[in-house]
Amino acid sequence: MSYASVVDAAQAIAEPVRRDILVLLLHEGSVPAGEIARRFSISRPAISRHLRVLRESGLVRAETTGRQRLYVLDPAPLAELAGWLAQFTSDPAWQQRLDALETEVYRTRRERARPDPAAATEQETA
C-alpha cells in the first residue's frame, strides 16, 4: 500500500458528487459517461472532470466500447484506504477492555441466576 494512493483515494472521495458516482457504479456496474452525466444536475464538463479525478485516483476504469466510454468501479484503492484508516480504529487495548467487560457480564449473570442461600433460609424461618 502506497501512501500516495491512499491520499489520492481520500481526496477523490472528499467530493460528494464523486462519492455519488461511485455508488452509482457500485449498483449498476459499467455505465456510459453520458448516462452518468444525465443522472446529475451539473454540467457534462463538470461530470467529465469528476470522472477524470476518479480515473486518475484509480477508483474507476474507463473502457471504450465502440464510440462509448464505459466507467467501471475499481474498489482496490478504497480497500487500501480502509486498511490505512483501520490503524486508528483497531486499538488492541479496546479489545482487551471489551473482553473484560464481556467476562464481567457473564459472571454477573451467573451470580444472579444462582439462588441466594441466605434468602432461602430467611424464607424458611418466616
The pLDDT tens digits along the chain (126 residues) read: 577 788 899 999 999 999 999 999 999 999 999 999 999 999 999 999 999 999 999 999 999 988 889 999 999 999 999 888 887 777 777 778 778 888 988 888 888 888 766 665 666 665
Q: Give the pLDDT confidence of 44-56 residue by residue, as tens digits.
A: 999 999 999 999 9
Q: Which residues of 28-61 are buried (b: 16+ CB within 10 A; e: fewer)?
A: eebbebeebbeeeeeeeeebeebbebbeebbbbe
- Domain boundaries defined on the chain: 3-78, 91-125
Q: What percent of the chain has pLDDT over 90?
A: 53
Q: Give the pLDDT confidence of 3-25 residue by residue, as tens digits.
A: 778 889 999 999 999 999 999 99
Residue 72: what are its φ and ψ, rounded to 5°? -130, 140
Query: Which grid cell sits at 40?
Result: 446529475
Q: Please state which CATH class domain 3-78 belongs to.
A: mainly alpha
What is the reported pLDDT for 92?
73
What is the reported pLDDT for 125?
61
pTM: 0.68
